[in-house]
Structure 1
Amino acid sequence: MDVVAPTTPASFKDRLFGTRRALRGWSIANLVANCGIIVTGAVVRLTGSGLGCDTWPKCSAESYTAHPALGWHSYVEFGNRTLTFVLLAIAIATVVTAVCSAAPQRERFLSWLILAGIPFQGVIGGITVLTHLNPWVVALHLLLSVLLIVWCVQLVQWTGDGEQVPVPTLQRRIVQAIFWLMMFALWLGTVVTGAGPNAGDERVPRNGMDIEFVARAHAWTIWVVVALTVLLLVQAITTGNTRLRTLVLWLLAAELVQGAIGYAQYFNGLPMGLVICHMIGIGLVTTAVSWLYYGTRKGLPA
């Protein structure tokens, strides 16, 4: 009779940093945190707290931290700065887990890339303060968050089953068009914000663009993306590609909800609640379109 040696239960350290499951968990945490920082950044802007700390890396010439003499705006701005260290801790944990779990080289590289992006994001945030919230620099601050979300989605997919949905060449090209047009639409959204009233401080000048023109350009780009998404959905249904259909349905739902919120905030004078919902939508839409982009590949469906 064979004697089976008892297995040694994994230590807490191994469960936290040494398994594929742990790496996927940290990757998801990375994604959620980078979506969340967009929302907290919007709160800073919407409360007029963008210059609550009027310099960087200090909060003021006398102090690195917020204090009552600077007013409550300093606590809002400093709180958002502090969240960068939370993102940094999660990104470091992801790198450690990728190394300890002997993840493939591409996953280790991407986890390092995400980690490098966090302090770079902090530097851009500092530049926005030092340039007194120049709207073009503020736009870069948001766009780097979008890029980090895209990378996080790719890492989450790789740490899952990593299996991409094969699609014909035409459908893959439509997927690519949807992704890059969405990235362009998100950039246009930052131009609209830079032309609008929510500057982060009442003394900050805007970018000089005509807000109605750029808002319409942003909206029409989104409508093109929605039309392409519907076209891809029809093709997925026609060809019986259920996995592609699921990916497209999630994206279409995110697009429609985000579009409805966008119109509602525009025609109701940009109320804070709707603007914050729109910022949440940026993270969801970016996640959905990135999931479609990285979740498909050119090839014939089985």
Structure 2
Amino acid sequence: MNGIAGYFGSPRVLRRLALASIIANIGIVVTGGAVRLTGSGLGCPTWPRCTEDSYVTTPEMGIYGMIEFGNRLLTFAVGLIALLGILSALAQRPRRKSLVQLSILVFLGVPAQAVIGGFTVLTDLNPWVVGLHFLASMAVIAAAYVFWRAAFEPGETAPAETPAPLRTLSWITTVVSAAVLVVGTWVTGSGPHAGDQDAKRLGFDPESISQAHVDLVFLLLGLSVALWFAFRAVGATVAARAALVLIAVELGQGLIGFVQYFTHLPGILVGAHMLGSCLVWLATLAVLRATRIHQPTATTGPAAPSTDDARQPEPVAAH
């Protein structure tokens, strides 16, 4: 038993489990997209059972049932990873209350997400509920990211050296990034990929809502560029690198978005765009976090890294 406790008490194991939670929750978003893009949203027509008489898919359900049921099974894998994260957080010595709380938050997000997923089926893929299902995943990914970064910190975060106006601008950028995600669900809810041929649509004009989405994307890109210049101006090198990564991810996501629009929304590009949404969100969170940590500035000069920090990647490297 001591061997198992010792294994889970390893900081390296904790970090790996926290990172695995991020990857697993992104995987749920991508596979959930595959369910909708293949028209398998009602492959299992009820919930929590797959059919009225079976918790698992049956041969009569065909390939659509297999795809939908496969996505449901992944929820258990995501939950197991999150549960192991709790055990590892509890096994750390000294135990950090905030770390344990974050691990529990990530775990609780899994059944909450599963319940919302169940409502998407019970409401016959109501586009508002489908959009909420996606946004709930973004919330869980955010919690998993904070948990992962906290696993690298030996204690409380040092006071931020980034000027307060830039921290405010970073929060504004984060809010705009979240707005891009929200409006993106409206675009999807008005488009052709409903998850089932009989599913309802939101009824927004596709061109108008797409234009609103694009306008928000350009605003986000402009804010990100402004942050990069501002961070460079004050010598906040960690935050500047995070902002540069955010800009690069946004440009890649924008390219996918334009191509999918002008090629009439092929499923493979819509799926890639969903993955890109996760990466943009993570990159945004990395910028926000970079404004809250102790970092080199033009006036203080570089701070000597600790032994633990020297062998750990920068926050933005995981993207």
TM-score normalised by L of structure 1: 0.93
Give CA deviations for 1:237-286 in whole Å, capped at 9, x if unaligned.
22232211111111111111111111111111111211111111111111
For residue 131 of structure 1, report the CA deviation from its aligned partner: 0.2
Distance 1:299 1:158 in 2: 14
Please name the residue that 1:60 is paired with: 51
Structure 2 equivalent of residue 4 of structure 1: none
Higher relative contact order (CA 8 A, sep 6+): 1
Offset of 1:106 from its aligned partner? 0.9
- Over the matched positions of the two proteins, sequence identity in percent amounts to 39
Give the counterpart of 2:180 among 172, 179, 185. Answer: 185
For 1:145 and 1:298, how far apart are their aligned partners in 2?
26
CA apart distance, 1:236: 1.9
Instruction: Go from structure 1 to structure 2 and tell me whether the alpha carbon gap of 1:142 and 1:16 turns closer, same or farther (over 3 Å shift).
Output: farther
User: Alignment partner for residue 74 of structure 1, among 65, 83, 96?
Assistant: 65
Q: Are 2:216 and 1:221 aligned?
A: yes
Distance 1:30 1:17 in 2: 15
Q: Deviations over 1:49-81 (max 9, x none)?
A: 000000011111121111111111000000000
User: Are residues 271 and 16 of structure 1, via their aligned partners in 2, closer, same or farther at CA, if it must alter by over 3 Å?
Assistant: farther
Deviations 1:97-146 (A, max 9, x none): 00011431111011101111101111111110000000000011000100
Cα displacement (A) at 1:164: 7.3
1:51-200 correspondence runs (5 A) = 51-102=42-93, 103-161=95-153, 166-200=161-195
Which runs of no fewer than 5 residues in structure 1 stay unpaired? 1-9
Pairing partner for 2:242 from 247, 265, 268: 247
| Counterparts of 1:15 and 1:299, CA distance in 2 | 31
- Contact 1:114–1:148 (CA under 8 A) maintained in structure 2: yes
Match of 2:262 in 1: 267
Distance 1:209 1:263 in 2: 19
Larger mean CA deviation between 52-61 and 288-297 belongs to: 288-297
Deviation at 1:165, TM superposition (A): 5.6
Q: Compute the RMSD of aligned alpha carbons.
A: 1.8
Aligned equivalent of 1:290: 285
- The worse-fitting range, judged by mean Cα deviation, of 223-232 and 157-166 is 157-166
Measure, in 2, the Cα distance between the counterparts of 1:164 and 1:259: 35
**TM-score using structure 2 length:** 0.88
CA 1:164 to 1:261, structure 2 compared with 1: closer, same or farther past 3 Å?
A: farther
